[in-house]
Structure 1
């Protein structure tokens, strides 16, 4: 099965280089949804080779999620970095997330481009709306942080 694709965008009224500078551990903590609660175990940053590791608490059990930053780039119109899962919760077989910060005049578009696979096709379909909600949750946080 080919990976499922999910894309969400949010426009904020801030220069894209300021938004880039704001993509840090503090923002990561603010973006964590209420469920499942997330315990950040490691946060190196968003440069190629950096790692981010967290523990998802599903109350009756916990799952570790570790990603490595496999690519990042900045030019005059865009900054992006890509995280890929190396240790994923049981419900994911693969994860690739491109975080794009795109200059749009005097404002910025923050775009999440995600490819994921579950261990079997039906679970991928079931995960899609849950992941969509998790990432839609970020939009008002982005607007508040980058106001």
Structure 2
């Protein structure tokens, strides 16, 4: 399944890129499940991000590697790929794109591709996944305005 969400902010491309740090990551975590950030190396190729999701009665570990990061005059992006995922996911790839908006500011695009162990579950998880990332839009706007 694929999900793409875009948020326009008024900050410059370089300012948004500088703001993609551990503090932002913690602010973007949705209220449920609570997320404990175990490791955050950054957003450059070779970096690792490790999380612990707390589902009240059990916890799940999520580890992603930053497998690619590129920067041009018009866009900066990095891709995290899940290497240890919660039981309900079998594949995870998230491309974080920061795109210079010709009319000013930056467009932050979250391009997510995921799979679960079962095709039906892919579709059932879609609204949950969409909501988890739609939650980020107002936070991006508040931080980068």
TM-score (norm 2): 0.98
1:56 equivalent in alignment to 2:53:
yes
Q: Which one of the candidate residues 15, 21, 32 is aligned to 2:29?
A: 32
Following the alignment from structure 1 to structure 2, what is the Cα–Cα distance between the partners of residues 42 and 119? Answer: 26
Deviations 1:64-118 (A, max 9, x none): 0000000000110000000000000000000000000000032100000011000
Q: Which one of the candidate residues 11, 18, 21 is aligned to 2:15?
A: 18
Following the alignment from structure 2 to structure 1, what is the Cα–Cα distance between the partners of residues 55 and 38? Answer: 16
Structure 1 runs, 4 residues or longer, greater than 4 Å off: none
Number of aligned pairs? 144
Following the alignment from structure 1 to structure 2, what is the Cα–Cα distance between the partners of residues 117 and 38? Answer: 21
Q: How does 1:1-147 map to 2 (within 5 A)?
A: 4-105=1-102, 106-147=104-145
CA RMSD between the two structures: 0.4
TM-score (norm 1): 0.97
Following the alignment from structure 2 to structure 1, what is the Cα–Cα distance between the partners of residues 26 and 113? Answer: 22
Gap regions ≥5 residues in structure 1: none
Q: Secondary structure at the match of 1:91?
A: coil
